[in-house]
Structure 1
Amino acid sequence: MGTNMSNGVSSITIVIILCCSLLHLVDIQAAPQFNFSDFNPTRDNNLLEFLGNGSAIDQGALQITSDTTNDEFSLRNSYGRIMYKHPFNMWLSDEIQASFNSNFVINIFRKPAWNAGEGLAFLIAPDLSIPDASYGQWLGLTNATNDGNHTNQIVAIEFDTEKQDHDPNGNHIGLDINSVNSTATVLLDIELSPEVGTKYSVWVQYNGTSKVMEVYMVKEGQPKPEKPLLSKTISLKEYVNQKSYFGFAASTGNPQIELNCVLKWSLEIDDLQKKSDLLWLKIGAGVGVPLVTLLILCGVLYLNKRKRRGRGGDEESNVLGTQLRWLPGMPREFKYKDLKKATNNFHESMMLGQGGFGVVYKGILQDKDHKSSTEIAVKKFSRDSIQSKDDFLAELTIIHRLRHKHLVRLVGWCYEKGKLLLLYDFMPNGSLDKHLYEASNQNTLNWSRRYRILAGVASALHYLHNEYDQKVVHRDLKASNILLDSDYNARLGDFGLARALDNERNSYAELGLAGVPGTMGYVAPECFHTGRATPESDVYGFGAVVLEVVCSRSPGISINHHQRPYSLVDWVWMLHREGSIEEAIDEKLGNDYVVDEAKRLLLLGLACSHPIASERPQTQDICQIIAGTMPVPNVPPFKPAFTWPSMVTAFSSTDSSFSNTFSS
């Protein structure tokens, strides 16, 4: 009796909270978003609007103003805007405003002899236009005629490189509202346009609930700081058009000149959908309270009745499902019966793979008219109900806001009648390991595809470690978790073991999640002592994948060489010491590979497999090494010994059979 009463009260509380929330909120659906990890005119010109006298895509970047280092005259008094062509709904009322998060990489380049100016700005504007003569101090935002006019309806974050009378100095960021005379400014310790070209990662965030705009900025590759450089309360509804555009503006002066470049850009913003039934609910709330109360009581009686029948799992599913539906950025919710139909009742013939957390099936979703279908991958969690729910929530909270072209995209979820399912994009070419080891698939992995796959995985790992809001450690990097789309581009998947770390922390052990998860051969040696997974241990796993892809040999299987067993990394290190590292390259490639690229990857794989975590390269360096813009770190001929403070004597894995066994 007491238990039922408690459950009834809890149910009443939950329903009342939800009903009251409905009186004040609108439906916030999956967040609209885009992610340019680089820029290509053929691919991206139709998505962007180029305005002014010099804006264009060149050298893989947005050039907001004229792009040349040879004709200084053409750089003078240049101004431009590049805007994303699709407008976004910024607000519905004073209370209901869209939150957004934009991350971009800028490079304000100048030659040492140039006097840098004028600046670059991240911009919210009401239309796809630019004021005439907005060069010089006007930053492509306003001009001498309209500066300060409330009809501009612009809000911008300026990165100012030339001091004007209203500026604190020539190296600051500021919040601009309808004017280049900033509402708030922050002096910078870093130089926006130094003599040596420098890339900076910037995050601009707006919280539609607290009405706070925040700006973070660091050198590219460094993690997002804990505290923003600029934080200012501002109600965007007071200043911007309801339908507004995002983009960048910039200008140069005379003789102040610079190149204003944006190399990467992503944006995620709440999609506010005002529904007529919600409006009716708000209007009718004053007269409909008795009816709502009656419905609440009926719902409680119904839930308790089902619980008495031993079906309390449905109540839990409903409550948890409600929480998930209101989680910002959540994708579509699916019905279990539709997924059951799509997978042919989860038939064995539809199975794609199986792991410790569940079984993955191929599904085919039909539209209402059965005129078209969509292929999906359905992950059905298979552990006991309590553990399975924890695994499900852990994976869902990690991936539902991740946006990167080399990560498998979450398209939906289902939590119904105790059944836990996640839906992903279907990858028609399966997992990387199948193409490496199954005879029928081996011919598809030519050298260019292998190289492109590793570049994609490195880019995804860099995003997880440094570019997402939180530092995410994957913890299970291996070939079977790298999936291939129709063009054999890599998509990193399976986030069942992943954890998001606070920026000031370096392992999930500090979160009370200690253990040694992962797959043998891919797990860094320090993890067996610390019980921690860190970004450095992810890099170790990536190194194992690099060697695996180049050599087509599993890191978890011993290799016999001169009647001695070696792990893959020890075998490659031995060949490196002997000056014959090319012997490690997959013989199935024949001579169809680029020698310099193969050597570069093998040495990179060894550098990432360094026994000492602090000696491994970071992800930003890994991406540049693969791109060929940075040399490979020096790899010693003998593999360094793994040491631990509690060990009196260190053993080298290449010289001791004991250490060979230990490191394997």
Structure 2
Amino acid sequence: MWTLTSKFILIDIASILYCFLVIVEGAKLQTFTAEYGPFNETYYDILEVIWPATISSGALQVTPDAASSDFKLSNKSARVLLNQRFKLWEEHASQPQLASFNTSFLFNVFRPFNDTAAEGLAFMIAPNLLLPPGSMGQFLGLTNTMGDTSDTANRFVAVELDTSRQCFDPDNNHVGIDVNNIKSIKTESLAPHNITIAPIGMAKFYNVWVDYDGLNMVIDVYIAEQPEITSPTPPKPGSPILSADLDLREHVNQYAYLGFSASTGNASQLNRVLMWNLTVQHFSDSGKELDKWMKIMLGAGLAVLVLVLVFAVGFGYRYRKLRTVAPSSNLVGALQRLPATPREFKFRDLKKATSRFDEKNKLGQGGFGMVYRGMLVKENMEIAVKLFSRENIKGQHDFLSELTIINRLRHKHLVKLLGWCHKKGKLLLVYEYMPNGSLDKHLFIGPNKEPLEWNLRYKIISGLALALHYLHNEYDQKVVHRDLKASNIMLDSDFNARLGDFGLARALDNGRTSYAEAEGVLGTMGYIAPECFLTGKATRQSDIYAFGAVLLEVICGQRPGTRIAGFQFLVDWVWLLHRDGKLLEVVDQRLGDNYIVEEANRLLLLGLACSHPSASERPRTQSILQMISGAMPVPYVPPFKPAFVWPAGEPMDMDSVNTVSITTSDSVSEWSPKNLSSENSAGHTDSLV
């Protein structure tokens, strides 16, 4: 009785102390202040300059400032965002809180051909670092035709400086406040204020101030002309030109980015930002400070509580021997303390659903366990049950690692976790069932079966890229998957890609850019980036390499580790045909001519770009998404595969490693890393979920 009572009291007190600390720490505001400009190439390190935006001539060219024979200034959209996100609001049971910010920027809009002005420029609060495809013209780089009809999901707020009139605008020279939609909630014509954003035949410079008061939930906009770019900044006007009540919690993500967007339509204009000042009072997450105080307060509080309990109920007990807590008890305790604890299934229900884990219900098997198909009759729901095979401390570590990460992930292109079960040493995870199985089962089929259609392959690649971008950039922590491959990509009833198997995935703590496994390099040959064999570290860039391998696998219908034409890896063969100008010859022959040439060429080049031996040369996920959609060209891919050189300067998203310089051949076949899983030529997959 003593043990049971004290257990629950201790848990309750620990929860109270934890909640108290989160509220105290979470309510603290931090102030970020910065002055930017004149702009030069060093700003590429702190700004996300989304093509075709550039930094040139001392300014952010939010829409392109130079035309060429094959590149026009019309019908373009772009964004330039600070690549640091801010926590703009905090939600507590006692009192919700909103951050405040003040920003000012010097801009000018110029019509290069003195014709009709073209659309405009906006300061925005953005949910992510992506540019919506098709956001040119009236959409100002903020949204697009599809997004503007479902504005509640857009999650942006913008102050537009509009130079083109739509049916809902007052004129072609106005300022407006946009909330998740290009139809402003409030506008003000600028002509009565003697302000012309884009005068014909000349460039005028204007300072804009945007102030948001988080306490009173009011946004104010001020504008004043600056005679010359070198002139002193004019004083801020005494009253705003536009003001509106605005509760940011209802319209933007808790974590958001700040910056600029712009677009051109059938006509063209230059949209330039020359100086930018920003002050944000944002909320800080608890981080290491919370961990430190948690240990101190919980340690002290629990020690006192234990003493009280001992004296209160221990008159009859002069001494109790401390008992070692079984590993299974530790595991259950860890599971119960998970945030938003997932559902706990009963073992007997899962046993019944899978017909006692009958072999005929087996979907796949891998290094971490077996996956079975099941049916919960009472709920009329099909499930996939992953039974972990290693019933020891290492197996529990794998189980907890996967559950801890995927429990909090929420994305339509990730396999959804339904719950867990721990019974009699058995560790199980329960996922939603994917009717079409894994991608590899549709790529590597018998000669008499129809190959996977081109439009479905393109759709799967797009979905996988969205999932990877979410893990790398949009989740609370950066997550490296570490095991991206066709057998871990599941397909729902509509052949939407769902990335699964997070047994190797790891969330990177704040400030960390890589993860090192004590046991060495983990993963599957053909998908592992060459630098991993030297550093033993997984990074977002090594995930990109694996994505490139999958991309080539989907287009070619060949496994990345396939020996072909004398090459040990598929990527080397593809690079050879790229050199010879025969790139399309690698497209899966079973498709015949049933594919889109332009798309195939673009995706193959993207696959090679992602497979670049140098981590710093591989594109990032936000660029990959735009390349897949065709909104951004694929970077230059050299005709000869570059040699792997280490170290290779300062790679992105990788810790610097002190090691000798090593130059290898195009192949990494001489390496013999430990713990590499494999897939045989018969199409056996080593994991499903």
Instruction: Report TM bin, short chain.
Output: 0.5 to 0.7
How far residue 326 of structure 1 moved from its aligned partner, in angstroms, is 4.3
1:524-535 map, 5 Å: 524-535=529-540
CA contact (8 A) 2:464 2:497 kept: yes
How far residue 572 of structure 1 moved from its aligned partner, in angstroms, is 0.2
How far residue 565 of structure 1 moved from its aligned partner, in angstroms, is 3.1
Aligned to 2:508: 501
The alignment status of 1:437 with 2:447, answered yes or no, reads no
The secondary structure found in structure 2 opposite 1:633 is: coil
Aligned to 1:465: 472
Distance 1:81 1:438 in 2: 41
The secondary structure found in structure 2 opposite 1:557 is: coil
> Per the alignment, do residues 611 and 591 of structure 1 end up closer, same or farther by CA in structure 2, a change over 3 Å counting?
same
- The equivalent position to 1:618 in structure 2, one of 611, 617, 620, is 620
Structure 2, unaligned runs of 5 or more: 20-127, 129-134, 141-147, 165-171, 189-196, 198-206, 222-246, 262-277, 285-307, 648-658, 674-689
The alignment status of 1:341 with 2:352, answered yes or no, reads yes
Distance 1:482 1:493 in 2: 6
Aligned to 1:330: 341
Distance 2:149 2:217 in 1: 16
Distance 1:639 1:508 in 2: 27
Q: 1:236-292 CA deviation, whole Å, 9 max, x = no partner? A: xxxxxxxxxxxxxxxxxxxxxxxxxxxxxxxxxxxxxxxxxxxxxxxxxxxxx99xx
- The equivalent position to 2:175 in structure 1, one of 114, 117, 120, is 117
Aligned to 2:414: 407
Q: 1:305-330 CA deviation, whole Å, 9 max, x = no partner? A: xx89xxx75xx545543443343222
Aligned to 1:580: 582
How far residue 515 of structure 1 moved from its aligned partner, in angstroms, is 2.7
How far residue 171 of structure 1 moved from its aligned partner, in angstroms, is 2.5
Distance 1:498 1:589 in 2: 34
Q: 1:533-579 CA deviation, whole Å, 9 max, x = no partner? A: 000000000000000000010111211x2xx3341000000000000
- The equivalent position to 2:385 in structure 1, one of 349, 371, 378, is 378
> Per the alignment, do residues 660 and 458 of structure 1 end up closer, same or farther by CA in structure 2, a change over 3 Å counting?
same
Question: Letter of the aligned partner of 1:363 in structure 2?
Answer: G
The secondary structure found in structure 1 opposite 2:257 is: strand
> Per the alignment, do residues 348 and 105 of structure 1 end up closer, same or farther by CA in structure 2, a change over 3 Å counting?
farther
The alignment status of 1:389 with 2:396, answered yes or no, reads yes
Distance 1:594 1:422 in 2: 40
Greater shift after overlay, 341-350 or 446-455? 341-350
CA contact (8 A) 1:640 1:652 kept: no
The secondary structure found in structure 2 opposite 1:476 is: coil
Distance 1:408 1:232 in 2: 31
How far residue 457 of structure 1 moved from its aligned partner, in angstroms, is 0.3
> Per the alignment, do residues 70 and 335 of structure 1 end up closer, same or farther by CA in structure 2, a change over 3 Å counting?
closer
- The equivalent position to 1:480 in structure 2, one of 443, 464, 487, is 487
Distance 2:217 2:158 in 1: 25
- The equivalent position to 1:551 in structure 2, one of 556, 572, 582, is 556
Question: Letter of the aligned partner of 2:609 in structure 1?
Answer: A
How far residue 619 of structure 1 moved from its aligned partner, in angstroms, is 0.4
CA contact (8 A) 1:214 1:231 kept: no
How far residue 81 of structure 1 moved from its aligned partner, in angstroms, is 12
Q: 1:342-382 CA deviation, whole Å, 9 max, x = no partner? A: 11111111111111111111111121xxxx51100111111
The secondary structure found in structure 1 opposite 2:383 is: strand
1:576-615 map, 5 Å: 576-615=578-617
Paired-residue identity, %: 50
How far residue 69 of structure 1 moved from its aligned partner, in angstroms, is 6.2
How far residue 338 of structure 1 moved from its aligned partner, in angstroms, is 0.9
CA contact (8 A) 1:642 1:651 kept: yes
Aligned to 1:164: none
The alignment status of 1:217 with 2:268, answered yes or no, reads no
The alignment status of 1:519 with 2:524, answered yes or no, reads yes
Of Structure 1 and Structure 2, the greater helix share is in 1
CA contact (8 A) 2:361 2:373 kept: yes
- The equivalent position to 1:15 in structure 2, one of 8, 21, 34, is 8
The secondary structure found in structure 2 opposite 1:117 is: strand
> Per the alignment, do residues 439 and 107 of structure 1 end up closer, same or farther by CA in structure 2, a change over 3 Å counting?
farther
> Per the alignment, do residues 388 and 649 of structure 1 end up closer, same or farther by CA in structure 2, a change over 3 Å counting?
closer
Aligned to 2:37: none
1:267-282 map, 5 Å: none
> Per the alignment, do residues 104 and 364 of structure 1 end up closer, same or farther by CA in structure 2, a change over 3 Å counting?
same
- The equivalent position to 2:458 in structure 1, one of 428, 451, 455, is 451
> Per the alignment, do residues 649 and 390 of structure 1 end up closer, same or farther by CA in structure 2, a change over 3 Å counting?
closer
Distance 2:423 2:255 in 1: 40
The secondary structure found in structure 2 opposite 1:439 is: coil
The alignment status of 1:366 with 2:390, answered yes or no, reads no
> Per the alignment, do residues 348 and 624 of structure 1 end up closer, same or farther by CA in structure 2, a change over 3 Å counting?
same
Question: Letter of the aligned partner of 1:135 in structure 2?
Answer: K
Q: CA RMSD in A?
A: 4.4
Q: 1:611-641 CA deviation, whole Å, 9 max, x = no partner? A: 0000001001111000010111100000000
Greater shift after overlay, 616-625 or 378-387? 378-387
Distance 2:139 2:151 in 1: 26
> Per the alignment, do residues 479 and 336 of structure 1 end up closer, same or farther by CA in structure 2, a change over 3 Å counting?
same
CA contact (8 A) 1:506 1:534 kept: yes
How far residue 334 of structure 1 moved from its aligned partner, in angstroms, is 0.8
The secondary structure found in structure 1 opposite 2:355 is: coil
> Per the alignment, do residues 346 and 592 of structure 1 end up closer, same or farther by CA in structure 2, a change over 3 Å counting?
same
Aligned to 1:644: 646
CA contact (8 A) 2:526 2:560 kept: yes
CA contact (8 A) 2:419 2:429 kept: yes
CA contact (8 A) 2:210 2:219 kept: no
- The equivalent position to 2:186 in structure 1, one of 135, 147, 172, is 135
- TM (norm. structure 1) is 0.59
Question: Letter of the aligned partner of 1:587 in structure 2?
Answer: Q
Distance 2:423 2:374 in 1: 18
Question: Letter of the aligned partner of 1:650 in structure 2?
Answer: T
CA contact (8 A) 2:160 2:176 kept: no
**Number of residue equivalences:** 445
Structure 1, unaligned runs of 5 or more: 1-7, 27-60, 62-66, 73-79, 85-101, 124-132, 138-160, 162-167, 183-202, 207-212, 222-226, 234-288
Aligned to 1:244: none
The secondary structure found in structure 2 opposite 1:508 is: strand
